[in-house]
Every structure is written in C-alpha cells, then in structure tokens.
Amino acid sequence: MLENMLQTADWKNEKHVPVIEVDDGVKPDEMFDVRVTLGKEVAHPNTTAHHIRWIELYFKPEDAKFPLQVGRVQFTAHGESGKGADEGPVYTHHGCVFTMKTLKPGTLMAMSYCNIHGLWQSSEELSLD
C-alpha cells in the first residue's frame, strides 16, 4: 500500500521531488557528502500552511536485499509564532547534507513529506571510483 502513496516526477518540473546530489569521484571507504534538497528548479513554499516536514535518505548496496537508512532530517520552523501563521522570525530551508561512506556501489533513495501533497521519492545510482 505504501508504494501507491509514493509519488515521483521529474524534479526539474515538480517542486516536491527530492534532488540527490553527490560529487564525482566517490571512493570506497572514504567519507563523502550527499546533498538532498527540494525545489531546485521550481521553488517549494515554506510557510506555516504549506511546507516540507522531513527528508529521509536510504542507501541500498548493489547486492543487498533491503536498503539501509542513512538519516532523517526534520524541518520544524515554518514561520509560525504566538502572533500567528507566518509571523515568526524563523524559517527552516528544506535541504540537508548527509555525510557517509560505503564499501560498495548502490542506489541512494530519498523521500520527502509535504504537509499538503504527501510523500515524494527519487533515487540516484552511486558508483565508486
């Protein structure tokens, strides 16, 4: 049932799709950064009423049956305050960096949750030099 709720699209045309970026030249057993953002080409709102709540990153080594969770980042400041919606001084940007290492190539998978439009996913193959 979950697979029916996960939405995908081309991130160049859809503001909800997580964009996974990794520098070239990743080497086995060396730390590298994985950047996951939303709204790279089409901006996603970041208001009390409409925002990205969280991003999760998973990695599935090429010979593994299941993916491993790399991490989860929650975004909890969207301009809310005691004065009302969008009156607060803090807005969290819906982007994050995970630092990781792996011994094997595989697939990076990101999921994000929009409080109005639900779950979104994307993936990116990771090769090692």
- Is position 40 annotated as part of the catalytic site? no
Domains of the chain in start order, with CATH, are 2-125 (2.60.40.730)
Both tokens of residue 67? 């993916």
Q: Which of 51, 80, 94, 114 is catalytic?
A: 114
- Is position 93 annotated as part of the catalytic site? no
- Is position 51 annotated as part of the catalytic site? no
State the distance between the two ends of the chain, measured CA to CA, in whole angstroms.
37
**Phi first, then psi: what are they for 3, rounded to 5°?**
-60, -25
Q: Which of 15, 51, 78, 94 is catalytic?
A: 15
- Is position 15 annotated as part of the catalytic site? yes
Each residue's pLDDT, cut to its tens digit, for the chain (129 residues) gives: 666 767 666 656 678 899 999 998 999 999 999 999 998 888 889 999 999 999 999 999 999 999 999 999 999 999 999 999 999 999 999 999 999 999 999 999 999 999 999 999 999 999 999
- Is position 56 annotated as part of the catalytic site? no
- Is position 78 annotated as part of the catalytic site? no
Q: What is the pTM of this model?
A: 0.90
